[in-house]
Structure formats: structure tokens, C-alpha cells
């Protein structure tokens, strides 16, 4: 896979999320690591939120939290939409609204970006 020469954290995040396969999910923390900024999970969440107002067309619904659940810390309206979208993709939720990560989590073989020591 040839990855674009993206410099900024946000551009990398948007690129990574755009690569998540239909019917699969990734966690905020996972995306942060893949973008070379482990620990920036919270920032990833902010970017997903911004992506909407920015009008970016990315599969933001495929990004969930480390508990394998949709984050309801944002507005419920968005959470409901996310749940519906994922179900449409075939992603299944158990009674506790949790996703079976062994089945649906996207674990790419390729390394996107190595960890950034500074920046």
C-alpha cells in the first residue's frame, strides 16, 4: 500500500479512517497509534467531530471507543445515527451494545506511520 505523504496529525487521521473497510471498526486509541501519536485518542475524537462540520466524507461511524462500544459522550443523536449506520454495514452489537472486536476490528498488516518522538 502506498500511503500519502501526510504531515499533520489530522490529515493522517482522516486518511487512516478513510481506509477502514466497510463492515469493520477501529478504536480512537488505535487510530492515534496508527497516526504515530499514541495517547492522542481524545484528539482523534475531536477530529471526528470536526470532520462533520468540515464536510469531509469519511466513514467516521467506524471509529468506536476502547470498550468496543459507541461513545455516547457526544450528542445522542449522533450516537443513534452511528449505531444505525454500523448495523447497516453488518456490524453486530450484543445486548450491552458491545461489538465483538475479534470479528469486526480492522487490524491492518501495514504500518502506516511510526511513532513520532516530537513534532
Partner DNA sequence: TTAGTGACTGCAT
Partner DNA sequence: CATGCAGCCACTA
How far apart are alpha carbons 61 and 108 in whole angstroms? 18
Does position 18 interact with DNA (CB under 7 A)? The reply is no
Kindly state the helix (H) or strand (E) to which residue 64 belongs, with its residue range: strand 63-64
Does position 34 interact with DNA (CB under 7 A)? The reply is no
Kindly state the helix (H) or strand (E) to which residue 27 belongs, with its residue range: strand 26-27
First to last CA, the chain: 25
x-or-dash pattern for DNA, window 54-73, by CB under 7 A? Answer: ------xx-x-xxx---x-x
Residues whose CB is less than 8 angstroms from the CB of residue 8 and which lie 6 or more positions away in sequence, other chains included: none
Does position 19 interact with DNA (CB under 7 A)? The reply is no
List 52, 84, 97, 115, residue binding DNA (CB under 7 A): 52
Residue where the block lists cell 487512516: 16
List 6, 15, 78, 89, residue binding DNA (CB under 7 A): 78
Beta bridge partners of 26: 63
List 18, 21, 22, 39, residue binding DNA (CB under 7 A): 39
Binding site for DNA (CB under 7 A): 8-10, 27-30, 37, 39-52, 60-61, 63, 65-67, 71, 73-74, 78, 82, 96, 119
Amino acid at each position: 500500500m502506498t500511503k500519502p505523504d501526510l504531515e499533520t496529525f489530522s490529515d493522517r487521521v482522516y486518511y487512516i479512517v478513510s481506509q477502514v473497510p466497510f463492515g469493520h471498526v477501529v478504536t480512537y486509541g488505535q487510530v492515534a497509534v496508527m497516526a504515530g501519536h499514541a495517547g492522542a485518542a481524545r484528539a482523534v475524537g475531536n477530529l471526528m467531530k470536526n470532520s462533520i462540520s468540515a464536510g469531509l466524507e469519511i466513514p467516521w461511524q467506524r471509529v468506536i471507543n476502547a470498550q468496543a462500544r459507541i461513545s455516547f459522550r457526544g450528542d445522542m443523536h449522533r450516537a443513534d445515527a452511528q449505531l444505525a449506520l454500523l448495523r447497516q454495514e453488518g456490524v453486530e452489537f450484543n445486548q450491552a451494545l458491545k461489538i465483538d472486536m475479534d470479528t469486526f476490528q480492522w487490524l491492518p498488516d501495514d504500518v502506516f506511520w511510526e511513532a513520532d518522538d516530537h513534532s
